[in-house]
Structure 1
């Protein structure tokens, strides 16, 4: 078993190394050019995200679709993941993480556009879309669509569920004045989650619509307070981040950068993993949005990468670097991982600092569970039809219940590999349909209120 674990870890390290970085970041750059630098329309997407389009086909509002997608992407990676990038790649990793988010906006836009364009309607009136439908209807590659759905469904039990509830359990046990058995935590969250996800996308979207803005604002407020405490080190931190992104060196507090290779490797990898641009997850819920045309919703969905990486990850990175630089007593050698760095940073806020971090991790992880439950359910329905939805939900809830008592190191690694593999068919769809994406963009970009009159087919799923 130990040998098998080492083998799986080696595959994970390889697949999330140079091959996936080149594929994802290369797609980000290509789609940036192909869409005419769609990032310039980010604030248009933000404006559209708070508007409603109730007369258009769809199950939830554009804002609900965005917050449900953000629920799964704004997760523990924004807190611990950025810390890991700085811990291993130095301050320069923050720059590459941020740059990945900037260019990733184009891929998130592209994959969401084709998800909406090729979506279908079930006989009971629900909207279904995603990479599998784009592959099936746009490229006639149904088997590849099935492969994407299978990989995403299985991954939802790991990264989208088991690992998240495990993180919640560890945080609660580590900060509770009384001992709460892990199984009790798992069962409690399983019951809460069951109440939400049994109600379908409307129920999930309603919770995410309220939870995501609160949790993001709560965490960002904590970051702002720390940056106010460290205000005199913000400019030195920015200088260190920009300098150490390209060359090796050291700054106060034992922060060192290994140069371009290490900073880029860990910064890009954590940025890609955090915002999920290119993985094909967020388009699964984007296709359920009430929208007049594909470009309109694609612009809204693309703002998810902006909020996740360009804003939240950057703020976390600045908090970490300024904290270490401001406090000479903090030495990088005293930390075992990036999570401990983040804990030390938030401890600067008297009394409530650790509370902000604890609430942040719990809400970020729980929202990820809700978002991925919908992703996995949609993929299950694509593979097995409506009859597979209830069994999927029951298994998902069972994983939440037992997740805190399981050793999930191997499960995390396997799910990590599945996440990377599900990106491959999704990126194939994006790249092969880039001509369609460019054409739709040119047609609708300056006429966002124009109605898409193309017929949405009804399917027996």
Structure 2
């Protein structure tokens, strides 16, 4: 067992090491400049399309509305990474890590736009008649038979990683937080979560979409409001907070108190790694959910999909990071969710820690729902629709075990597999970048003439 632990420790270090992070950032930068900063220039357009996408159009094909598709993506991405992940990045990399998380999100918008566009453009219909897409289908239908093995690799990594990073790790975080804050036994959390997850996931993507549509906006808005309260309480520290973020992002510093110490490289490493872990730009997962959205335009889906990165990191993660730094607790020696809880508790004594725990529980629960859909589609790609019911049953069964188990090894394996998902996806983005550029140019050329083009997806029955 010790050998396996060391082996996966080494693999995890490689997967989330400097070369991979450089590849993720480099791909995002390449796509951003290829698109001439379009994802940044068209943020307003994306939000407008999202608002109009709250209802489905009978002339468009798909199982859920564009709004529900994005909420399903956010359900998977807005999770423990937004609370515990941000805190860990600041603990390990200093306040400057937040700056590099912002940079990751900005270039990640181009990555997310591109992977959603390709997922919708190359989506198929499975034997049950539902739309299905993602990096594996973009690779198979866009790059041809020689590259099918790469899509298979993505599906294997995603299909296995989901049970850890999208299921057991999430419910374990919920159980530990409720046990330490509200003294709820971990087994009770496991049982209750299992029942609710079963009720939602066994109903498929339409039920997941409806729950995400109702729950995700509420949880994001409520959390952001709570974070703003923390910032208002610490308003006098905001200028110093901004100064710390930019100073630590570019200046080597010595260890302070319980803070682990940082050089610029550590700020970059942990800022980028936690940013990618949170918003999943570059991992390819967003395209899996967006491919189920009703649309005739892959570009429109991409414009809506890229908002997931903006909301997840530039809004939700920023609130967490600014709260931690402005409250002054970032150097108190705590890490993870405990550090975030300290920030909220310092501003709202007797209530802040409980509020943070509730937020973490809801975030983790929605991540379980979103990742259940990702994992299901990966297994459908590998073995067909016959895997749907067995997968959903196994997914539900894994929940109670995650609540009561020690998951250090499971976390390590899942984290490594999660990172490995990026490799096939980034390769496909680079090789299919001419398609991304072509569809984007056609859409906006027609839009400028007053008749937006419908860049129809190449649906394969």
Deviations 1:233-260 (A, max 9, x none): 1111101111111012479987686332
Paired with 2:2 and 2:34, the residues of 1 have a C-alpha distance of: 46
2:44 match: 43
1:24 match: 24
Paired with 1:338 and 1:385, the residues of 2 have a C-alpha distance of: 39
Paired with 1:453 and 1:226, the residues of 2 have a C-alpha distance of: 46
> Secondary structure of 2:354's match?
helix
Paired with 2:172 and 2:227, the residues of 1 have a C-alpha distance of: 25
Q: TM-score, normalised by structure 1?
A: 0.94
Paired with 1:188 and 1:345, the residues of 2 have a C-alpha distance of: 29
Contact 2:299 2:455 in 1 (8 A): no
1:75 match: 79
Q: Does residue 404 of structure 1 match 2:410?
A: no
| Superposed displacement of residue 148, structure 1 | 0.9
1:223 match: 227
Paired with 1:339 and 1:183, the residues of 2 have a C-alpha distance of: 20
Paired with 1:400 and 1:72, the residues of 2 have a C-alpha distance of: 16
Paired with 1:287 and 1:215, the residues of 2 have a C-alpha distance of: 24
Q: TM-score, normalised by structure 2?
A: 0.94
The worse-fitting range, judged by mean Cα deviation, of 240-249 and 22-31 is 240-249
| Superposed displacement of residue 455, structure 1 | 5.0
Paired with 2:255 and 2:242, the residues of 1 have a C-alpha distance of: 12
| Superposed displacement of residue 7, structure 1 | 2.3
2:430 match: 431
Paired with 2:413 and 2:288, the residues of 1 have a C-alpha distance of: 22
2:153 match: 147
Deviations 1:367-417 (A, max 9, x none): 000000000001111111111100001111110021112221101110111
Aligned length: 450
The worse-fitting range, judged by mean Cα deviation, of 188-197 and 105-114 is 188-197
Paired with 1:360 and 1:454, the residues of 2 have a C-alpha distance of: 37
Paired with 2:47 and 2:255, the residues of 1 have a C-alpha distance of: 37
Q: Does residue 157 of structure 1 match 2:163?
A: yes
> Secondary structure of 1:335's match?
coil
Contact 1:72 1:371 in 2 (8 A): yes
2:337 match: 339
C-alpha root-mean-square deviation of aligned residues, in Å? 1.8
Q: Does residue 450 of structure 1 match 2:457?
A: no
Deviations 1:408-440 (A, max 9, x none): 110111011111111111111111000000000
Structure 1 residues 172-251: aligned runs within 5 Å: 172-177=178-183, 179-180=184-185, 182-249=186-253
Deviations 1:340-365 (A, max 9, x none): 22111010213331222011100000
| Superposed displacement of residue 336, structure 1 | 3.8
1:66 match: 70
2:357 match: 358
